[in-house]
């Protein structure tokens, strides 16, 4: 199985690789999945990149690679996790965060696996998982976050009144199996896809609706979706599952946000919409799914970003008086 359609080394400065339910991969048992997965990713990345952080909880995993010539400019690397599974002790659902500074710009990557299910209450559970992880990571990402807690300004909490780790960093990326579904019947969803009406199906996407109504991922953006639903497939085929008739859905997503005041002043691209990234400190260059990788009932997604970084002597996380220069980042699920 080639990873080239999903993970192409030697193109970007930063690679963040998140995975969920690793035990489902062929040949990987619960005991062997972590070291074999890490070895495979490290080997694939090659000698030009350094693994600066990794974190595993149950079957959820996050790794961050940096181009080696940037290592002298990397500092304050930390990682932590929050469990959201049954009773908040079962790690089948969780979130993992890795943060670090490059030059004077702080980065945060979070991979997460939200609650499953297609009932209305499941949507609320997924939203709650986001806020629980977003707030729960704050005291755990010490000492860097603990230091910033003493200097919190407006915008450091969400509309729920809870702390938000996403508000404490300059460049933030969330990637994972968020499990949001399409609100349609199986037959209707398959019919729309067969008729090439992907846009009509996207209008029924739960995550889009929840974000538009400010119920989850506040201040986050997502690049335009131009790929078919990534769930649920028959393994090793390009056919959607037809026995239990799970509605094809975009469960696997990548969202991003920049610190307030750092979004950039350039106007949005022509024809931009709610799902189109705006020009500025984070600009989405690509967003897609690797349809040729069929080892799971999901299709892995990827996103490429052009990210500006501050290279002056100011403290990471502060936006005033900073100069910027381009730095390409590749965020991959």
| pLDDT tens, position by position, 195-236 | 999 999 999 999 999 999 999 999 999 999 999 999 999 988
Tell me, rounded to whole angstroms, the distance of Cα 231 from its chain centroid. Answer: 16
The answer to the question of residue 6 being in a domain is no
- Is residue 100 situated within a structural domain? yes
CATH at 194? 3.60.10.10
Please tell me the pTM assigned to this model.
0.85
Pick the closest to residue 34 from 43, 23, 46 (CA basis). Answer: 23
Q: Which residues contact 11 (CB under 8 A, 6 or more apart)?
A: 304, 328, 330
Per-residue pLDDT, 243: 93
Task: Give the domain extent around 80.
Answer: 14-332
Q: Which residues in the chain land under pLDDT 70?
A: 1-5, 22-32, 86-92, 142-161, 261-280, 312-333
Whether residue 212 is contained in a domain is answered as: yes
For position 146, what pLDDT does the model report? 54
| Number of domains the chain contains | 1
Q: Give a yes or no: residue 325 inside a domain.
A: yes
Per-residue pLDDT, 295: 81
Residue 8 forms part of a structural domain: no
Report which of 114, 93, 88 is spatially closest to residue 210, judged by C-alpha positions: 114
Could you report the per-residue pLDDT of 42-70, keeping only the tens digit for each? 988 999 999 999 998 888 999 999 999 99
Residue 171 lies in a domain: yes
User: 275: buried, middle or exposed (CB in 10 Å: 19+, 13-18, 0-12)?
Assistant: middle
pLDDT at position 4: 67
Residue 232 lies in a domain: yes
Residue 3 lies in a domain: no
Residues 6+ apart with CB under 8 A from 263: 278, 280, 281, 282
SS3 content of the chain, % helix, strand, coil (to 5): 20, 30, 45
DSSP helix/strand/coil, 182? strand
């Amino acid at each position: 199985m080639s990873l080239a359609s999903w993970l192409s080394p030697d193109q970007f400065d930063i690679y963040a690789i998140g995975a969920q339910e690793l035990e489902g991969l062929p040949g990987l048992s619960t005991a062997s999945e972590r070291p074999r997965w890490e070895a495979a990713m490290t080997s694939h990345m090659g000698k030009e990149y350094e693994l600066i952080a990794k974190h595993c909880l149950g079957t959820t995993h996050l790794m961050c690679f940096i181009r080696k010539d940037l290592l002298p400019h990397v500092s304050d690397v930390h990682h932590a996790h929050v469990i959201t599974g049954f009773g908040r002790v079962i790690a089948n659902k969780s979130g993992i965060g890795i943060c670090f500074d490059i030059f004077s710009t702080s980065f945060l990557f979070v991979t997460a696996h939200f609650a499953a299910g297609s009932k209305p209450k499941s949507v609320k559970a997924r939203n709650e998982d986001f806020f629980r992880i977003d707030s729960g990571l704050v005291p755990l990402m010490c000492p860097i976050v603990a230091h910033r807690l003493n200097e919190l300004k407006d915008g450091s909490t969400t509309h729920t009144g809870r702390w938000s780790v996403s508000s404490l960093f300059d460049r933030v990326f969330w990637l994972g199996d968020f499990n949001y579904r399409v609100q349609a019947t199986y037959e209707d969803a398959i019919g729309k896809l067969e008729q090439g009406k992907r846009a009509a199906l996207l209008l029924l996407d739960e995550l889009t609706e929840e974000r538009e109504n400010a119920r989850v991922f506040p201040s986050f953006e997502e690049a335009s979706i131009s790929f078919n639903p990534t769930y649920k497939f028959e393994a090793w085929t390009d056919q959607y599952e037809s026995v239990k008739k799970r509605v094809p859905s975009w469960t696997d997503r990548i969202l991003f946000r920049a610190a307030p005041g750092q979004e950039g002043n350039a106007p949005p691209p022509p024809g931009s919409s709610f799902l189109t990234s705006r020009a500025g400190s984070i600009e989405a260059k690509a967003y897609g799914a690797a349809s040729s990788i069929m080892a799971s009932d999901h299709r892995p997604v990827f996103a490429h970003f052009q990210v500006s970084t501050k290279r002056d002597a100011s403290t990471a996380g502060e936006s005033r008086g900073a100069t910027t220069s381009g730095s390409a980042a590749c965020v991959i699920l």
